[in-house]
Structure 1
């Protein structure tokens, strides 16, 4: 998650909430690519998780990164919980179980995104290796129980930890034991947002299958190719899912505002303190009648922070967040923005993608989303396999990136970053299936080798 917002400007009306989204509309030439990825820290000596405190803990890691990068620390109750680059817009933050996240700067090309990623990983290794730490690229931690997983000292996570078991069976697994990669992309108008939101929602299960990489839990196969995606099916359905209403007539910023207003809140932040208002209505805060904080009025920061606690498969902020992919090896982190930029940032590819999905019903889209975590590329929609749809979508991404014609120093365009996904389709095998074959073969029924083969 990105850092909390701080804008104290009061908001008094629903119309101002709609206007907040409208500010996100950008001219096409200003479109950018923001890539975020998480990874699991572990102790190389014994493959155990990494607590916050201690001489070789997460705090020491963050302090070392601050010294190396010169980024501004993000503090909470006297503890460093993240870093922020005031010059470029990137940030490092902690997920609840210590997952170490880079929220990349908004960049013009996927080549730049990939360069940013490689620089970050080199910097992290420089600090982590003397501490005896490594980082693992999987969609779910493969070895540790929930009880063994450390808890990061962030106020918002304490509130979420108390609330999650009330609204679903898998919320704590989502918080503490999953890891993702996502890309944030721009829109030029409300109509452009709606078109991109609908296409990306419908195709999000295709991305989930292509990036499936979480087949192990507590040292053994869990029965899924993307257990991370399965976990989201019963985390908190009031704030997650496929947004079927986004395909209905009248979809736009106002409709999303109404949805967000009805999603229960987690917290209200005042100063450095998180007030637990879990289950309360933002509508009450907007009206100044929130029972837990009588008289408090909503601010821009409250709205932005509330939006960051909504978790659909595609999330609307002042940009669109693609949220369907498991974290994984370096090449896959570069491949995710390549897939979505190729489809969504090229009008011809976007139109063609809409032709693929426009007749899918809400029930068909939901069934696809429900089937993919277990079935992966073999799941079906309208008598077509995900493999077939993925092949078509990859072709559209190739075409879109070719037309973008953004070249690196070697004269190659952004299509080079799609190579890991083409291999998945050519082999008809997800990374999860390849790992399961290793578990049954050379790994000899152990997940420990993953900490070598899938470490960054």
Structure 2
């Protein structure tokens, strides 16, 4: 989740155009398109697999401070180090101490993968001294909610209080899950619309290829991606497949109306998060927010509000692809490779849309609903399975990366970063399937073996 790294004031919102400018301000010509990759991982004690608290010796705060020996600078909230900023982006904490890198905006996938490698190496170096390990999965395989600490971030206290009021699994989303996501640019409103539609329609393919959360509290949970299922019962006001994206006339205006109707969580003022959970941003625009009577929002308040909306694809001043479970190094590189190959090449973008443009919203929603449980075996509305669709999608993405022709020093293009996903398609075996097979056979039902074999 977004972490503020400064407390600068922005301008007052005076018109609807000020709100729309957040989206329009993200428009860039193709030569300025960048790739921003975010990835989370679970932090655990090597000695007993416990999730460390923030304050304990060798805990999360010490891990953050240990990383300052590299070029990272602390970000404070109420005197607590809650994030780090540096040339590789921002390191931040999810609610139960999941460790996230929100990477820098980079030109190509070679740089993105190198950034991920640097970050993981730094984490492992500091973690080894503290007796800490890192696990790349979509959900804690063995922890109950009560087993997990809560980080000292003001927005999380507000969200933890609000989540049970609107869904039964929101606390699991906050405390027990990890994801990989990629943030990508658009050239114009029309380009944004095309990319949003393709990203949303094909998000279940990413969910299937990255499915990596088959255990809950040491037992199989009946899903390949329980993390994805969690979003179905988190908060219906701010999640889902957004049917209006596929309607004629969709654009910045329509997304703005949607965003304004999503209930608020907080307002950030003078270093503090003010609880306004459930209130209307439209009322805030009129100076009628009960907690801040007479005050009207800043542009930064609207940007904060956009960060509290959680559909499968999210629009801010860029597009965020949000459907993948957390995973290890090759998958951190594989997700941006998938979406860059599809969305940063016009031929690939059109070909990808041709695969799914005829589906209606009921069909899209059914695939989205089925894929957390069935993954590649999910049936498609017009015949075949997600496995069949994934094969076509990867071929299109690979061709898109070839046409991009971004080479490393050895002369390789970016297509090799798709190899972990190609293996899934070739074998029909998702990461979750591999975990379940090990659990049932090699591990003899002992899910703790996951720490030995699937840590970074």
Shared fold (TM-score greater than 0.5)?
A: yes
| CA–CA separation in structure 2 for the residues paired with 1:377 and 1:397 | 18
Write out aligned runs for 1:278-293 (5 A). Answer: 278-293=277-292
Equivalent position of 2:431 in the other structure = 431
Shift in Å, 1:89? 6.0
5+ residue gaps in structure 1? none
Shift in Å, 1:360? 0.6
Cα 1:399–1:431 shift into 2, 3 Å: same
Query: Alpha-carbon deviations, 1:214-255, whole Å to 9, x = none?
Result: 001111111100000000000001000111101111101111
Shift in Å, 1:108? 0.5
Shift in Å, 1:329? 1.3
5+ residue gaps in structure 2? none
Moved over 4 A (4+): none
Q: Is the 8 A contact 2:18 2:299 kept in 1?
A: no
- Are residue 412 (structure 1) and residue 412 (structure 2) matched? yes
- Are residue 388 (structure 1) and residue 388 (structure 2) matched? yes
Please provide the CA RMSD for this pair. Answer: 0.9
Shift in Å, 1:71? 2.2
Aligned length: 453
| CA–CA separation in structure 2 for the residues paired with 1:268 and 1:333 | 32
| CA–CA separation in structure 2 for the residues paired with 1:338 and 1:95 | 25
Query: Alpha-carbon deviations, 1:13-32, whole Å to 9, x = none?
Result: 22210112101000000000
| CA–CA separation in structure 1 for the residues paired with 2:423 and 2:88 | 33
Q: Is the 8 A contact 2:343 2:349 kept in 1?
A: yes
1:42 to 14, 20, 44: 44
Secondary structure of the corresponding residue to residue 19 of structure 1: helix
Secondary structure of the corresponding residue to residue 141 of structure 1: coil
Q: Is the 8 A contact 1:190 1:252 kept in 2?
A: yes
Equivalent position of 2:53 in the other structure = 51
Secondary structure of the corresponding residue to residue 312 of structure 1: coil
Equivalent position of 2:131 in the other structure = 132
| CA–CA separation in structure 2 for the residues paired with 1:242 and 1:371 | 13
- Are residue 62 (structure 1) and residue 61 (structure 2) matched? no
Shift in Å, 1:50? 1.1
Q: Is the 8 A contact 1:180 1:327 kept in 2?
A: yes
Q: Is the 8 A contact 1:42 1:48 kept in 2?
A: yes
1:23 to 6, 22, 25: 25
Write out aligned runs for 1:166-185 (5 A). Answer: 166-185=165-184
- Are residue 344 (structure 1) and residue 332 (structure 2) matched? no
Q: Is the 8 A contact 1:13 1:286 kept in 2?
A: no
Equivalent position of 2:187 in the other structure = 188
- Are residue 441 (structure 1) and residue 452 (structure 2) matched? no
Shift in Å, 1:351? 0.3
Give TM-score scaled by structure 2 length: 0.98
Secondary structure of the corresponding residue to residue 371 of structure 1: helix
Equivalent position of 2:210 in the other structure = 211
Shift in Å, 1:7? 3.7
Equivalent position of 1:455 in the other structure = 455
Q: Is the 8 A contact 2:88 2:115 kept in 1?
A: no
Write out aligned runs for 1:265-284 (5 A). Answer: 265-284=264-283
Query: Alpha-carbon deviations, 1:168-212, whole Å to 9, x = none?
Result: 000000000000000000000000000000000000001000000
Query: Alpha-carbon deviations, 1:310-329, whole Å to 9, x = none?
Result: 00000001100000000101
Query: Alpha-carbon deviations, 1:330-385, whole Å to 9, x = none?
Result: 10110000000000000000000111111010000000000000001010112120
- Are residue 82 (structure 1) and residue 83 (structure 2) matched? yes
Give TM-score scaled by structure 1 length: 0.98
Query: Alpha-carbon deviations, 1:23-53, whole Å to 9, x = none?
Result: 1000000000000000000001111111101
